[in-house]
Amino acid sequence: MYFKKYPLLIILSLVLLTSFCVHSSGYAQSSKISKESVDFLTKTGEAMAEIAEAVKPAIVNISTTKTEKITGTPIDPMFDDPFFRRFFGDRFRRPETPRERKSMSLGSGVIVSPDGYILTNTHVVKDADKIKVTLADKREFAGKVIGNDPKTEISVIRIDAKDLPTIPVGNSDKLKVGEVVLAVGNPFGLNQTITMGIVSAVGRANVGIAEYEDFIQTDAAINPGNSGGALVNAKGELIGINTAIFSTTGGYQGIGFAIPSNMAKVVMNSLIEKGKVIRGWFGVSIQAITPELAQQFKLKKDYGTLVADVVEGSPAEKAGLMRGDVIIEFDGKEVNEPFQLRNMVANTPPGETKEMKIIREGETKTLKVIIGELPMETEKIPTVYENALKGVVVQNLTPEIYSKLNLPEKMRGVVVTDIESDTPAETALIPGDVILEINRRSVATVEDYKAIVSEIKPDKNILLVVFRKGSTLFVTIGVE
């Protein structure tokens, strides 16, 4: 009866009731999330957004242009077939003359001073003909390389600009595993990209990226183009320079590496102030402690680093360090691995005095050492010798090379560091070979090498004695 009399009123009431029920159900559902949780997550999101807004203006896009030499190819692949060449020889092959082409690459950088100094990776800017730096506000500048340090993968460039936004540099030594970090850069050219993760590990070495390694490992997404970008902590401080990823596909797989800010800062200051990197040195060959060595040297646990050799006349010898000593502490910091000691010494300015604790025959002693300057490790030989050793680059042996190549302590020679392509020595020598003799004459230093090689005539074959991978062998190099 009511429906017949008031049909529209009843229908409207049913609609309102249904709407109320649905709304109440949604309210009940959302009320399962506590206000405290919502507030916490909201504040966390706001905090991350605040950090991102603070650091993004100091991240730049770096695009480079490089000139690369490439070799020509035959007129047709068929003419390179061994069966075809058996009958027709090389008459149909076009000479493989070097050609040039331009290549472009992208990377990132971090502004560290208002007057235009920018930190980045060496592989981003090395050998670049042109460097273009694009700021967050879209302004573009030409970049100039101030210095490169391939040993740490750190480079410094500069642009002609003032009053630039910067990121404060934090203390990476205080970084702890599990801390939340943000990676900022330009992956795949996508400017101002922010990814979030945690510090997965610290002190990663033997990764094979650089000579001096002490990487921060993170699961914050790092992809091609992120190189040279910033890894920042919750305070918005720069605690790392993103450098590389571990990947089987070329893309992100949850393992990225960043150079600690403390290492980057030392290198940066040296490049800006000196034009090169000045590293500390105290002249020892060191190796890791194994359980067997710990037992032999009366150690209570596997820690410290073992002194395998001491360079004559070095700061270590003057400090009283001896072969067989186990260094357990340097400058108040515990030493557990050889790379740790090597990095700590390298980052110490020459002339400073540091204390180190050692264990000698079961007793703990304290020694003081005045850090020296790392000798020039590589002395390149220009390609001026028109003989069979044309294009071979050598350097003097150092304690680090003795250790790395596992060389006998009494061995004297020069190590091959590079060989130019299309030279007689390319198929006879390999980087890492230690040249002991040239034409029956002993070679102990780069100066010896220069003196002997400069006397060899262009048309003469050369007989070398080479130490390679634990064996000594004779090698002959002939001139074509």
DSSP-derived pairing of the beta strands 238-245 and 256-260: antiparallel
Considering the chain, what percentage of its residues have pLDDT values greater than 70?
83
Q: Where in the chain is the domain with CATH 2.30.42.10?
A: 280-373, 392-477
Fold of 54-71+98-277: Thrombin, subunit H (2.40.10)
Q: Where in the chain is the domain with CATH 2.40.10.120?
A: 54-71+98-277
Residue position matching structure tokens 């992208």:
106
Whole-number Å distance between alpha carbons of 346 and 348? 6
pLDDT range class, residue 69, cuts 50, 70, 90 = low
> Torsions phi, psi of 379, nearest 5?
-120, 105
pLDDT tens profile 74-88: 445 544 555 444 444
The reported pLDDT for the residue numbered 225 is 83
Q: Are 232 and 108 in contact (CB under 8 A)?
A: no
Provide the phi-psi class of 439: left if phi over 0, else alpha when psi is between -120 and 50, else beta: left
Provide the phi-psi class of 132: left if phi over 0, else alpha when psi is between -120 and 50, else beta: beta
**What type of residue sits at position 254?**
G
pLDDT tens profile 175-221: 999 999 999 988 887 888 899 999 999 988 877 777 888 899 999 88
Tell me which CATH code domain 392-477 carries.
Answer: 2.30.42.10
Q: Are 242 and 258 in contact (CB under 8 A)?
A: yes
Tokens in use for 328? 């357990």
Q: What is the mean pLDDT of residues 352-379?
A: 85
pLDDT range class, residue 469, cuts 50, 70, 90 = confident
Higher pLDDT, 52 or 12: 52
Whole-number Å distance between alpha carbons of 216 and 199? 7
Q: With the C-alpha atoms ordered 41, 45, 50, 54, is the resulting torsion angle positive or negative?
A: positive
Q: Are 237 and 168 in contact (CB under 8 A)?
A: yes
Query: Which whole-number Å values give the CA distances from 102 to 65, 127, 128, 396, in the listed order?
Result: 7, 12, 10, 35
**pLDDT averaged over the chain?**
82
Using the predicted structure, report yes or no on whether residue 243 has a pLDDT greater than 70: yes
Which residue intervals of 179-325 are DSSP H helices?
Answer: 261-274, 291-296, 315-318
pLDDT range class, residue 436, cuts 50, 70, 90 = very high
Using only C-alpha atoms, the chain has a radius of gyration, in whole angstroms, of 31
CATH H-level superfamily of 280-373: PDZ domain (2.30.42.10)
pLDDT tens profile 327-339: 999 999 999 888 8
Whether the full predicted model's pTM is greater than 0.75, yes or no, is no
